[in-house]
Amino acid sequence: MTQKVEDGALAKLRELVAERMVGLPEEKHDSALGLPLQVTPFGAKEVNAMLEVMLSTWVTMGKEVRAFEEEWAQWCGSEHAIMVNSGSSANLIALASLVQTGVLVEGDEVLVPAVAWSTTLFPVAQLGLVPVLVDVCPERLGMDPVAAKAAMGPRTKAAMVVHLLGQPADVEALEALGLVLIEDACAAHGAQIGDKKVGSLGRLGTFSFFFSHHITTVEGGMVVCSNPALLDAARALRAHGWIREMEGREMHAAASPEIDPRFLFVSAGWNLRPTDLAGAMGRVQLMRLDPWLVRRRANHARFCERLARFDSVLQIWPEVLGTQHAGFAFPMCLRSDSEKSRADFMAHLEARNI
C-alpha cells in the first residue's frame, strides 16, 4: 500500500469514527430520563487518538503516557506526575513511596477520614501502617482538624486528606498539625484553595480517571509530587521496583555492577503501569476538562440556589469562601429533626431516576 493510499484510508476511517460517535460526549440530556451517574464522556477525538496508538503498534506505557504526565503536572501546578492504572493504585503508590524513602516506617499512624472510599484506608494497612479514623467536619465534609488533633499520638506521622466529592478539605488547618499530608483528590479534579489546585498542596496528591470521574482514561490514575526522591520511588514501585525509569538509575547500576542494569530491581514493587491507549485518551480528555469544570460549578451553584429554601430539613454544601468546588457530585444530608427518613428521601429521588 502506497503512503498516499494509506493516508486516504486512515482519513476515511477517522471520518467513519466521527460519524459513528456524532454528538458525543453528550452535550445535551433529556431531563425525562432523570439524572444518571454518568453519560458517555468521550467522543471521536478520543477514539481516533487511541486508534493512532493501536496503529503505531506501541500500546504499552510509552510516549503518550509521558506526555500526559507532563501535561497533567503543568495543569495541576505540580512539578511531577506519575500515571498509574487506577486511583486506588495512585493511593497505594503515594503511601508506598513515603515508606520506601523512610518518611514513614512500619507502625506509624496515618489519620484517615471516616467518610472516604475504601482504597483511601486499605493501602495504609497493607503497607504495615496503622490507620486511625477521624470524623469529618460538617461544614466541609473533609477531615475535621479539631478531631484530627485530638486523635494524634506519638506515632502519628501522616494524614490522608480526602477532598470529598469535589469539596476542598481544610488543608491549611491540617498542615498546621505538622503531619505529612497525602491529598486524595480522586474526585476533586480542579478544585482549588485560593489560586492552587488541590492535589498540589500536600507532600503527594492522587487522582482517579475512572469512567465516572471528571475525566476518564476508562481506568487510570495519577500521583503528583514535587520531591525528586518520592518521584523516583514512585516510578520504581509502579514497575516491579525496576530502575529503568528512575532518575537515579546510573547510581543504582554503579552500586550493583555484577547485574545487567536492564534487569536491575532495587525494591519490591507492583505492575501498576498504564497503557499508551490510556495516555492518549487522557490527553484529549484534559483539553476538555476546564470547560467541563465551568459547567459543573455552574450546576452545583444552581442546585444550591434552588435547594436553599429547604434548609430547615436538608443540609447542602455551597462553595466555602476562598475555595472552588469541583462539582463531582451533589451531597445532601437530611437534618436529624426531619420528618422523613433517609430511606424515604432516597426512594423519592430514585423513583425519578436520580
CA gap 299, 9 in Å, rounded? 42
CA angle 349, 217, 77 (to 5 degrees): 95
Q: Is 300 a catalytic residue?
A: no
Helix (H/G/I), strand (E/B), else coil: 58? coil
Contacts of 67 (CB under 8 A, 6+ apart): 279, 283
From the candidates 80, 163, 189, 213, give the one annotated as an active-site residue: 213
| 200-211: b (≥16 Cβ within 10 Å) or e | bbbbbbbbbbbe
- Say what angle helices 87-100 and 118-126 make with each other, to 10 degrees: 30
Alpha helices in the chain, H assignment, sequence order: 3-20, 44-56, 63-76, 87-100, 118-126, 145-151, 171-175, 228-238, 249-255, 276-307, 342-350
| Cα-only R_g, the chain | 22
CA gap 189, 71 in Å, rounded? 14
Catalytically annotated residues: 213
